[in-house]
Copies of this chain bind each other. A is one copy, B any other.
Amino acid sequence: MSATTSPLPRTGSRPGGRSARIRAAVHRAVEELLADETGELLTIPVVAARAGVHATTVYRRWGSVGELLTDVATSRFSGDIVVPDTGSLREDLERYASDLAKDLNDPDTLPLVRATIGTAGEQGASACTRERRQQLQAILEREQARGHQTPTVERVMDAVLAPLYYRAVFTDQALTPEWARTLVSHLLPD
């Protein structure tokens, strides 16, 4: 799938540009429908109508609502958080945790995470968090390169990542930056 965005005018003879435009329109339609919270089931005909494209175009390209949501989640949750590099493991993790709390508080985030989990199962769930593990791994490796011991990435996921996602997805409790930082102080006491 091309991710090119083209400023050129619509023309049937430029499949790359047309394809990118369709993708953008369909992604935007999914995001708008999720934001509407009408409770209406997200189906391919509904998405296609909102995007102004033929349902067959959407079926041909994505196959199912689950695959479409996985694609939207992958692009939404890629590169959305800048991995901090402060020279201190504790400060990196504190910033990362509070940035992620902010991201999960964004009103557009949670409906997309929930819908993707609900319709695309494991593949969808992993599209929502795939980068998180790599980002934490990068933070830990920098600390190790500075000659310091670190917890394992699994431990950081259990102690920091998991409570952020659990609180966002399963509870109505607020994800405050202060609370996010206390997760790090429990992981790295003293």
Contacts and interface: CB of A to CB of B under 8 A. Distances in A.
A157 B183 CA distance: 12
B183 A158 contact: yes
State the oligomeric state as a number of copies: 2
Interface residues of A, number: 38
A179 B159 CA distance: 13
Contacts of A183: 158
A111 to B, nearest CB: 7
Given A111-B121, A118-B118, A158-B163, 7 more contacts: A114-B125, A116-B118, A117-B170, A125-B169, A129-B170, A162-B166, A165-B170
Interface of A: 37, 39, 41, 43, 64-66, 111, 114-119, 121-122, 125-126, 128-129, 154-155, 157-159, 161-163, 165-167, 169-173, 183, 186
